[in-house]
């Protein structure tokens, strides 16, 4: 179970880095995938950059915690970070985004992050 917990945690952290990269360098498609399309050249450009910074930072912090503080610290971090996809679900729904993205991407991500946290607590 320890290998599964660490593998899932690393994959989730790397995925956060990927999301950060995507919002910085491919903001239009990234925003559409998020569920609330935005024009990267318009007023939404700052939102897309901040989203990329946020997600990328979560990935870096998660990897650093796992490497230097251990599984328990990473697990608590993931419990806190699970609020983000939960609230992203609400944001997508409030702004008329697809329910499939809200629940199938954001809510599902929150569940996976909490499962990863539980596995790390058990490791």
Per-residue pLDDT at 66: 96
The string of pLDDT tens digits covering residues 71-111 is: 999 999 999 999 999 999 999 999 999 999 999 999 999 99
- What percent of the chain clears pLDDT 70, i.e. is strictly above it? 100
Q: Full-prediction pTM beyond 0.85? A: yes
Of 80, 51, 77, the residue nearest 64 (C-alpha): 77
Q: How confident is the model at residue 38 (pLDDT cuts 50, 70, 90)?
A: confident
Asked if 20 contacts 73 with a C-beta cutoff of 8 angstroms, the reply is no
Per-residue pLDDT at 41: 77
Per-residue pLDDT at 39: 80
Asked if 24 contacts 37 with a C-beta cutoff of 8 angstroms, the reply is no
CA distances from 93 to 9, 11, 37 (A): 27, 27, 13
Structural domain spans, the chain? 2-122
């Amino acid at each position: 179970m320890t290998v599964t917990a660490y593998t899932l945690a690393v994959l989730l952290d790397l995925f956060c880095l990927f999301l950060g990269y995507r919002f910085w360098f491919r903001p239009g498609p990234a925003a559409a995938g998020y569920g609330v399309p935005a024009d990267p050249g318009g007023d939404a450009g700052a939102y897309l950059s901040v989203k990329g910074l946020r997600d990328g930072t979560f990935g870096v912090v998660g990897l650093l915690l796992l490497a230097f503080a251990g599984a328990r610290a990473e697990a608590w971090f993931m419990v806190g970070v699970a609020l983000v996809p939960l609230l992203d679900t609400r944001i997508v729904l409030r702004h008329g985004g697809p329910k499939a993205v809200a629940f199938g991407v954001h809510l599902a991500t929150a569940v996976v992050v909490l499962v990863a946290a539980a596995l790390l607590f058990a490791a």
